[in-house]
Amino acid sequence: MNRRFRHLSLAALLAVPVAAFSTAALAHVGDHSHMTFAEGLSHPFTGVDHMLAMVAVGLWASQLGRRAMILLPLLFPAVMAIGAVIGVSGPDMPWVEIGIAASVLVLGAAVAFAVRPSLAVSAALIAVFALLHGYSHGVELPASVSGLTFGIGFVAATLVLHTIGIAIGLAANRVPVRHMAQAAGGAIAAAGVLLLVMS
């Protein structure tokens, strides 16, 4: 087990006691009565947990290589859409908000420590987090309206945030700013700790 993977494992373990002290879930409520494309497009930019996680996906993908830069940013919104469908019609999933906060912490730590697992492992982790993010939005959708246009806007915004993360990561490969991505990951992980405390 390499040193960076041990650091990520430690960060993930630290999330457990922090989550145990959490008392209330973060709210993602809002006025979704119109379900427009524009509302879906703007929504990911209004929640810091979602925004940070989506940027972190792009950052991490840029560290993992070309195949990851294609797969992970496409996998996240695809699985997120599945999570939204489950949220609309499926069973209750407890601790979703804590899982979302943990996703910010774990993805930020993965970037900060430049953890490079296999593509299959990274894809599985991304899929789990995407499911949670999608589910949290699915449960907010009113049953009386179709969320299709909202969802299309939300997916488009997610792809934009992934692209921003990839762009930052690629820029960070330049020698003068080679630690920029890791510093950004550390900041995202710290935000994840705060989100866990608040959740």
H/E element, 48:
helix 48-64
- What whole-number distance in Å separates Cα of residue 195 and Cα of residue 188? 10
> Taking the model in full, what pTM does it have?
0.78
* Helix ranges restricted to H, 90-118: 96-112
Cβ neighbours, 10 Å, residue 66:
9
H/E element, 23:
none
Please give the radius of gyration of the chain, using alpha carbons only, rounded to the nearest integer. 16
- Tens place of pLDDT for every residue, the chain, 199 residues? 445 444 444 444 334 333 333 333 344 544 545 578 888 888 888 888 999 999 999 999 999 999 999 999 999 999 999 998 898 887 788 889 899 999 999 999 999 998 999 999 999 999 999 999 999 888 877 665 667 888 888 899 999 999 999 998 888 776 565 577 888 888 898 888 888 888 6
